[in-house]
Amino acid sequence: MEIEILHAKSGKQITRLDHVDNYSTVLDLKKWIYKQFPRYYPARQSLRLEPKGRNLSDEETVRSLDLRVGDRKLYLRDLGPQIGWKTVFLCEYAGPIFAYLLFYLRPAFIYGVTKTKTHPVVHIAFACWTFHYVKRVLETQFVHRFSHGTMPIRNIFKNCTYYWGFAAFVAYYINHPLYTPPAYGDLQVYPALAGFVINELGNLSIHLAFMNMRPPGTKTRSIPYPTGNPFTSLFSLVSCPNYTYEVGSWVCFTVMTQCFPALLFTIAGFYQMTLWAIGKHRNYLKEFSNYPRSRKPIIPFLL
Amino acid sequence: MAAGGKAGPKSPSKPRAVPGPGPLAHGWLVLYNIVLTAGWIAVLYVYIVHVLNNPSPPEVYSGIYDSVEVVLKVFQSLALLEIVHAALGIVPSNVLLTAFQVFSRVFLLWGVAHPFKEAQTSLGMSLCIAAWTITEIIRYSFYTFALLKMKPYVLQWCRYTFFIVLYPIGVSGELLAIYSALTPAAEQKAFSLEMPNPLNFSFYYHYFLVGGMLTYIPVFPQLYFHMVRQRRKIIGGVTKVVKKE
C-alpha cells in the first residue's frame, strides 16, 4: 500500500511511501523517509495521525494504526537536532566531578594563597560528592535502560548549566579556607554520613530493580514491586523510590556539611524530582488499572 | 521594568479564562482601584507642591523622596495585594508576572531607596517616582472604569501611549537610583554576609544590585515591545474613534 507523509505544520506533502505493508513498523517508515531526506534521521522525526496528535511509537505497526483505505496519511513533525540521552547524562555528570575536584584542590587563583587546615568533613564531603557522580556515570553506562533514545539538543546546555553551576556553587563554599565545620561536630557528621551511604545504596538498589524489570533492548513497563533486596521495600509506599532515596542523600549531605548552598541544591533537586515523580505516578495510574492506590509519587504517605 | 507597569495585570492580551469575580470580590476590586487611584494622585500632589516650593536644583529633585516618602510607601506597598488578587483568580492576570512586577517596584522602594540616602536624593529617584506616579494614576483609574463597565477611550489611549515616553524615563530613573546605591551598599556592607559563618554561605548586596541592573538588559526590551504590540492591537493607528461598550 501507499502512505502519504505530510508536514505537520504546513499540511503540505513531503513524500509518498509505497511498498508499505501491514507489518511495517513506524520505525520502518521513519527509515524510508530518512533515505529520501538525509537530514531527517529517525530520532528527529515524530509521526502522528493528526498534525497535533500523539507521537506514534516506533514499535507500532501500520496495521495497528488502522488507516482508512484511500486516506492513508501521516503527519511528520521535526523535533529538531537530537542528542542521545546517554551522551547528555555523561556530560552532565562528568562536569560536577571535575568542578568539585577543582575547588577541593584549593587553587590559589580562586581562594588566594592559604595555609588553613582542612577539617575531616571536607575530605568526607569530597568523597561523597565524587562517589555520587561516579556512581551516576557508571549507572548511565551499565544500568539504565532508556525509554527514549534522544532529547532535543538545547537540553544539554540547560542541564549542564544546572549541574555544573550547582557543583561550583556548593564546592566553592565547602572547600573554602574559612569553611566552618558543623555545629555539633562528629555527632552531626558521622550519622549524616551513614544516612548518605544508606540512601546511595537505596538509590542504587532501585536502579538495579528497574533494570531487571526491563529486558535489554526493550521499552517494557511494568508495576514495580519489592524484590529480595530490603531497600526495594519502599516500592510499597512510593512510585519513584529512586527519587526518594536521592533526596535523602542530599538532605544527609547538607546536614553533614552544614552548608546553605547544599541546602539550596537539595531543594532544587527535590522540586524537580517531585515534578517528575508526579508525572510518572500519573502514567502508572493511567497505564495499569490495578496499580496499588495507596502509593504516593515520592514521599511515603505525603506527596 | 517596574516603571512602565502597564504591561501588567489585566493586560487585555489575556482573554478571561475565569468567569470573573463574584459580587463581593467585584466590590472589593472597585474599592481597591479607587483607593489606589486616589493614593497616587496624592503622591502627584505632594510631588508638584514640592517642586513649586523648591524650584531650584538640586532640592527640586533631591528632596522629592523625602516629601513623598510616606504616601509613596503606603500606596506602592499596597500593590502587593494585586498578587493576592491574581492568586485568588479574581483578576485574570498571571500570578508570576504580577508578582515579578510588584516585587521589582517594592524592591526598588524598600531595598534601594529606603536604606540609602544617596539613592533617595538622586536625580534618578525623582525621575522614576514621576514615571510611576503618572503610570499608576492612569492604570488604576482605567481599571476602576473597566470594573464599572466603562472604558473611556481617552484613558485607554493614555495608557497605551504615555508608556512610550514614561517607560524609558522610568527605567533610566530606576537604573540611576540603583547606581547611586552601589557605593554606600559596598561601604556599609548592607544586607551582606561574609565568610566565615555557620551557614557557609556569602552574599554581597552590592553585587546583587549590579546583577539587578544587568537584568534590565534582556527584560526591558521585551516588556517595552510587548506594550508596543499591545498598542497596535488595541488602538492600533486607528483614526476612527470607536467607543465600544
The pLDDT tens digits for A150-159 are 888 888 899 9
Average pLDDT, chain A: 92
Q: Please report, rounded to a whole number, the percentage of residues in chain A having pLDDT higher than 70.
A: 100
Average pLDDT over residues A174-197: 96
Scanning every residue of chain B, which has its alpha carbon at the shortest distance from the alpha carbon of A261? B201
The C-alpha of B215 sits at a distance from chain A's nearest C-alpha, in angstroms, of 18
Scanning every residue of chain B, which has its alpha carbon at the shortest distance from the alpha carbon of A169? B201
Say what angle helices B123-147 and B64-78 make with each other, to 10 degrees: 40
Which residues, at least 6 apart from B183, have a Cβ–Cβ distance to it below 8 Å?
B118, B206
Q: Please report, rounded to a whole number, the percentage of residues in chain B having pLDDT higher than 90.
A: 74
| Residue A296 CA from chain centroid, whole number | 19
The pLDDT tens digits for A69-100 are 778 889 999 988 888 888 888 899 999 999 99
C-alpha cell of residue B229: 504590540
Q: Do B201 and A259 touch (CB under 8 A)?
A: yes
Give yes or no: B136 in active site.
Answer: no
- The pLDDT of residue A213 is above 70: yes
The C-alpha of A261 sits at a distance from chain B's nearest C-alpha, in angstroms, of 7
Find out whether the peptide bond into B196 is cis, omega within 30 degrees of 0. yes
Which of A275, A272, A254, A299 has its CA nearest to residue A163? Answer: A272
Q: Do A179 and B199 touch (CB under 8 A)?
A: no
> Quick check: A259 contacting B, CB < 8 Å?
yes
Name the DSSP class of A49: S
Helix, strand, or coil (residue A88): helix
Q: Do B195 and A178 touch (CB under 8 A)?
A: yes
Instruction: Sort out which chain A residues have CB atoms less than 8 A from B193's CB and list them.
Output: none
Look at phi and psi of residue B237 and say left if phi exceeds 0, alpha if psi is from -120 to 50, else beta.
Answer: left
The phi, psi pair for B113, rounded to 5°, reads -70, -55
Instruction: Sort out which chain A residues have CB atoms less than 8 A from B195's CB and list them.
Output: 173, 176, 178-179
Beta bridge partners of B20: none
Catalytic residue (choose from B143, B167, B205, B224) = B167
The C-alpha of A170 sits at a distance from chain B's nearest C-alpha, in angstroms, of 9
Residue A282: how many CB atoms within 10 A of its CB?
Answer: 12
Catalytic residue (choose from B47, B174, B205, B224) = B174
Q: One-letter amino acid identity for A12?
A: K
Residue B131: how many CB atoms within 10 A of its CB?
Answer: 26
Instruction: Sort out which chain A residues have CB atoms less than 8 A from B201's CB and list them.
Output: 173, 259-261
Q: In this predicted structure, what is the pLDDT of residue A31?
A: 92
Q: In this predicted structure, what is the pLDDT of residue A276?
A: 95
Q: Do B200 and A183 touch (CB under 8 A)?
A: no
Q: In this predicted structure, what is the pLDDT of residue B8?
A: 45
C-alpha cell of residue A151: 532529547
Instruction: Sort out which chain B residues have CB atoms less than 8 A from A258's CB and list them.
Output: 198-200
Residue A9: how many CB atoms within 10 A of its CB?
Answer: 12
As separate numbers, helices (DSSP H) first and strands (DSSP E) second, chain A gives 9, 6
Q: Please report, rounded to a whole number, the percentage of residues in chain B having pLDDT higher than 70.
A: 88
* Of A11-20, A129-138, A284-293, B142-151, minimum mean pLDDT range: A11-20
* Of A41-50, B135-144, B199-208, minimum mean pLDDT range: A41-50
Q: In this predicted structure, what is the pLDDT of residue B239?
A: 46
Contact call for residues A139 and A71 (beta carbons, < 8 A): no
Instruction: Sort out which chain B residues have CB atoms less than 8 A from A261's CB and list them.
Output: 200-201
- Can you give the pTM of this predicted structure? 0.81
C-alpha cell of residue B21: 469575580
Report residue B241's pLDDT band, with 50, 70 and 90 as the boundaries: low
Cα atoms in the 13 Å half-sphere on the side-chain side of B155 = 17
| Mutation for A interface: B193, B200, B202, B203, most A CBs within 10 A | B200
Q: In this predicted structure, what is the pLDDT of residue B117?
A: 96
User: What is the C-alpha to C-alpha distance for residues A239 and A30, in angstroms, rounded to an integer?
Assistant: 34
> Quick check: B199 contacting A, CB < 8 Å?
yes
Q: Which long-range contacts (CB under 8 A, 24 or more apart) does B14-19 make?
A: B14/B92, B14/B93, B14/B94, B15/B92, B16/B92, B17/B92, B18/B89, B18/B90, B18/B92
Give yes or no: B59 in active site.
Answer: no
